[in-house]
């Protein structure tokens, strides 16, 4: 047994002192079983966490980087944490963030018939002249298709009519659609919203430009209208659209990461970091993306504190700013902990940013040995069916520290409708359930607490 495996087994013995030692596959009997059950019970009986989340998103629905509303929402949380008096070292970390503003916007079909096309400009997009950009439309079904129709794209508005397959596949057209269209001489670009389902629901999200390529306006229309324009083009009809966007990027603004802790009782310098992102798009309430994740993580710490549990290591709650269009909160957090020497002491990072629906488990990125240990912790979550630990996973906000070697994990939930609402006006609190939110808080609390308290830290690669 090499030293790594020895480390692993010591850790596992902490969880399964008897059964694991004799290699039996019996039920979980370890030290943490009772504690996990207490955490789950307390989480499930809670009313305050979800109510707090609801009040928060009702009061601060739009939390785009650079907005007054985001900063006011951060103030609200800080005030609430100070009033609670439960967490240590409640503080903020200043972060400069991009400041994109949408302004008024519209897309109007002029021919073959006059019709308003509900739309959302994409984050980072430039605006149009005041009178709008009026141009014929070329519908394409891929970047390849656009390449083949390069001659036709010149002077046109290119519409990418891309059916949703996976987010990763489909989002490429949101991210790079303007650059690719501009390369072929298009005057603006539109995407079919990145979602598998629509009720005339446009979805926003970030996009980017490329140096040396003309910046053209970039916006999303609905599935319904993208399909309709495709049909019209297929029938040989000439399509004319007027696109008006006041969008612009202002000078960077100051925002803040929120940080609060439960100090470790034995090794306070070692840190399990847990959280989500506090910024959100300027439509809907950002209830699942990602106020829900922030509040579930917050709730996890409150439960641990209120149960009087004293983990050996520090559990640090971070609500990162600017995940949606810049990742400056995540980057500056990494810079800070790199500079102050804390980075090496981050034993685990946990993010919830896939909605707070019925939790299934976690996706984990880290060493094989650490994977086995978090799988063992996962078993403590079997009573709420949230114990499945898959390989791979993390989160955008913990990405920068994960790339520096910190083991990371993302909460996995029932994702069947997440992308119906993602980045749209329909991301509202009524889509979430208190019971599911509470189970998310339970899953995060159990994972964070055991990882922070077990004798052996999760081994890095």
Q: Which residues bind a second copy (CB under 8 A)?
A: 54-55, 58-59, 61, 112-113, 115, 118, 198-201, 223-224, 227-228, 231-232, 235, 284, 420-421, 424-426, 428-430
CB of 435 to a second copy, least distance (A): 18
Distance CA 413, CA 427 (A): 16
Distance CA 245, CA 103 (A): 7
Contact 293, 411 (CB under 8 A): yes
Closer to a second copy by Cβ: residue 198 or 325: 198
The question of whether 323 is a catalytic residue gets the answer yes
CB of 110 to a second copy, least distance (A): 15
Closer to a second copy by Cβ: residue 198 or 299: 198
Contact 285, 429 (CB under 8 A): yes
The helix (H) or strand (E) run that includes residue 441 is helix 434-453
Q: Exposed, middle or buried: residue 421 (CB in 10 Å: 0-12, 13-18, 19+)?
A: buried
Closer to a second copy by Cβ: residue 338 or 428: 428
Contact 393, 360 (CB under 8 A): no
CB of 65 to a second copy, least distance (A): 19
Distance CA 358, CA 442 (A): 11
Closer to a second copy by Cβ: residue 320 or 421: 421
Q: Please identify which of the residues 323, 342, 351, 369 carries the catalytic annotation.
A: 323
CB of 430 to a second copy, least distance (A): 5
Closer to a second copy by Cβ: residue 17 or 163: 163
CB of 352 to a second copy, least distance (A): 22
CB of 442 to a second copy, least distance (A): 25
Q: Could you tell me whether strands 240-245 and 346-351 are parallel, antiparallel, or unpaired per DSSP bridges?
A: unpaired
From residue 361, alpha-carbon distances to 7, 42, 167, 440 in Å are 24, 19, 20, 9
Residue 146 sits at φ, ψ, to 5 deg, of: -60, -45
Distance CA 39, CA 42 (A): 5
Closer to a second copy by Cβ: residue 158 or 229: 229
From residue 411, alpha-carbon distances to 127, 275, 278, 425 in Å are 37, 10, 16, 24
What residues are labeled active site? 323
């Amino acid at each position: 047994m090499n030293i790594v495996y020895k480390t692993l087994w010591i850790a596992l013995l902490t969880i399964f002192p008897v059964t694991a030692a004799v290699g039996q596959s019996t039920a979980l009997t370890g030290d943490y079983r009772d504690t996990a059950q207490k955490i789950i019970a307390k989480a499930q009986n809670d009313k305050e966490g979800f109510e707090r989340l609801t009040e928060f998103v009702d009061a601060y629905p739009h939390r785009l980087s650079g907005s007054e509303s985001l900063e006011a929402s951060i103030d609200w949380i800080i005030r609430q944490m100070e009033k609670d008096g439960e967490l240590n070292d409640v503080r903020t970390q200043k972060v400069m963030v991009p400041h994109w503003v949408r302004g008024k916007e519209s897309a109007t079909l002029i021919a073959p018939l006059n019709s308003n096309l509900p739309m959302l400009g994409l984050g980072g997009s430039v605006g149009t002249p005041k009178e709008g950009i009026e141009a014929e439309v070329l519908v394409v079904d891929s970047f390849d298709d656009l390449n083949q129709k390069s001659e036709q794209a010149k002077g046109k508005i290119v519409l990418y009519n891309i059916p949703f397959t996976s987010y990763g596949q489909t989002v490429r057209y949101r991210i790079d659609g303007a650059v690719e269209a501009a390369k072929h001489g298009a005057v603006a670009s539109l995407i079919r919203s990145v979602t598998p389902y629509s009720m005339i629901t446009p979805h926003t999200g970030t996009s980017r430009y490329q140096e040396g390529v003309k910046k053209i306006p970039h916006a999303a229309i609905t599935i319904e209208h993208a399909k309709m324009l495709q049909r019209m083009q297929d029938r040989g009809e000439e399509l004319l659209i007027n696109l008006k966007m006041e969008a612009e990027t202002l000078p960077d603004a100051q925002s803040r990461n929120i940080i609060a802790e439960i100090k470790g009782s034995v090794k306070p310098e070692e840190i399990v970091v847990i959280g989500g992102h506090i910024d959100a798009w300027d439509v809907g309430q950002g209830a699942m993306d990602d106020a829900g994740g922030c509040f579930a993580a917050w709730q996890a710490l409150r439960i641990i504190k209120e149960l009087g549990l004293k983990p050996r290591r520090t559990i640090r709650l971070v609500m990162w700013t600017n995940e949606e269009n810049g990742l400056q909160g995540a980057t500056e957090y990494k810079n800070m902990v790199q500079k102050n020497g804390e980075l090496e002491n981050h034993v685990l990072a946990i993010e919830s940013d896939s909605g707070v629906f019925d939790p299934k488990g976690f996706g984990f990125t880290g060493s094989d040995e650490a994977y086995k240990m978090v799988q063992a912790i996962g078993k403590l979550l079997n009573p709420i069916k949230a114990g499945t630990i898959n390989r791979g996973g993390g989160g955008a906000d913990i990405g920068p520290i994960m790339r520096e070697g910190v083991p990371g994990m993302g909460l996995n939930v029932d994702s069947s409708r997440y992308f119906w609402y993602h980045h749209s006006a329909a991301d509202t609190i009524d889509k979430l359930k208190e019971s599911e939110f509470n189970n998310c808080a339970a899953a995060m609390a159990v994972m964070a607490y055991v990882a922070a308290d077990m004798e052996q830290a999760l081994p890095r690669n």
